[in-house]
C-alpha cells in the first residue's frame, strides 16, 4: 500500500481517535498532521510493519503524550461533540452532561486518559493498549482503575452526567 492510499483510508480513522484522545477537534487535527508528516518520512518502515494501523495509532499516542513538553504554554479546552442521542428528550441536558464528562476527563493525567480512550473508544484489549503505550497490561489495568475511580468521585451519583432523567443511575 502506498502512503497516498493509506492517507485516504487511514487519516479519517486517526483523526476520530485523536479527537477522543485530545478532547478537541482542532488539537486532534494538529496532532494527526504532525503524525502524518512523521509517517510520510518513515513510510518504508511503517508499511513493512505487521499492523501499520497499530503502528500509526501508537505514533498518535506517543505524539499526544509528548505534547506536554512541546505545548506547555498552551492550555487546551476540550470540545468533543457527539451525534444526536434520540433517547434523551432534552438536548440541553445531554450537552451539559457531555460538557461535564469532557471536563472531568480533561482533569485526568494523560496516560490514564489515553488508556480510557484506547479501551472505550478504540476497543482495544489491555494487552493491545500496553503495546501501544509501552507498558505492561497490569499497568494498563491500574491506570484504568485509577481513572475510573477518579471519575466516580468527581461524577458522583447526584451528578447530572451519571443520573438519568428519572433519577435512575446510568450503567454507562
**50 and 102 assigned to the same domain:** no
d(CA 147, CA 124): 17
Q: What pTM was computed for the model?
A: 0.54
Grid cell in block for residue 94: 445531554
Q: Are 59 and 39 in contact (CB under 8 A)?
A: yes
Domain boundaries, position 142: 91-154
For residue 84, being part of any structural domain is answered with no
Task: Look at residue 85 and tell me if it is in a domain.
Answer: no
Q: Provide block-wise average pLDDT over 10 residues at a time, the chain (172 residues).
A: 86 90 86 91 89 89 76 53 52 76 85 90 90 92 92 64 41 38
Measuring CA to CA, how many Å separate 34 from each of 15, 28, 40, 144?
A: 12, 10, 10, 27
C-alpha separations of 30 from 34, 38, 62, 170 in Å? 6, 13, 14, 34
96 and 58 share a domain? no
- Measured from the Cβ of residue 54, the count of other Cβ atoms closer than 10 Å reads 14
Amino acid at each position: 500500500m502506498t502512503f497516498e492510499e493509506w492517507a485516504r483510508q487511514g487519516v479519517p480513522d486517526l483523526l476520530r481517535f485523536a479527537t477522543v484522545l485530545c478532547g478537541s477537534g482542532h488539537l486532534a487535527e494538529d496532532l494527526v498532521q504532525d503524525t502524518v508528516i512523521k509517517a510520510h518520512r518513515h513510510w518504508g518502515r511503517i508499511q513493512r510493519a505487521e499492523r501499520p494501523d497499530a503502528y500509526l495509532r501508537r505514533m498518535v499516542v506517543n505524539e499526544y503524550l509528548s505534547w506536554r513538553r512541546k505545548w506547555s504554554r498552551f492550555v487546551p479546552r476540550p470540545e468533543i461533540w457527539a451525534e444526536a442521542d434520540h433517547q434523551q428528550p432534552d438536548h440541553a441536558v445531554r450537552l451539559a452532561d457531555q460538557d461535564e464528562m469532557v471536563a472531568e476527563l480533561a482533569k485526568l493525567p494523560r496516560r490514564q486518559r489515553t488508556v480510557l480512550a484506547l479501551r472505550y473508544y478504540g476497543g482495544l484489549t489491555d494487552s493491545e493498549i500496553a503495546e501501544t503505550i509501552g507498558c505492561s497490561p497490569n499497568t494498563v489495568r491500574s491506570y484504568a482503575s485509577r481513572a475510573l475511580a477518579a471519575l466516580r468521585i468527581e461524577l458522583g451519583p447526584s451528578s447530572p452526567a451519571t443520573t438519568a432523567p428519572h433519577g435512575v443511575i446510568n450503567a454507562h
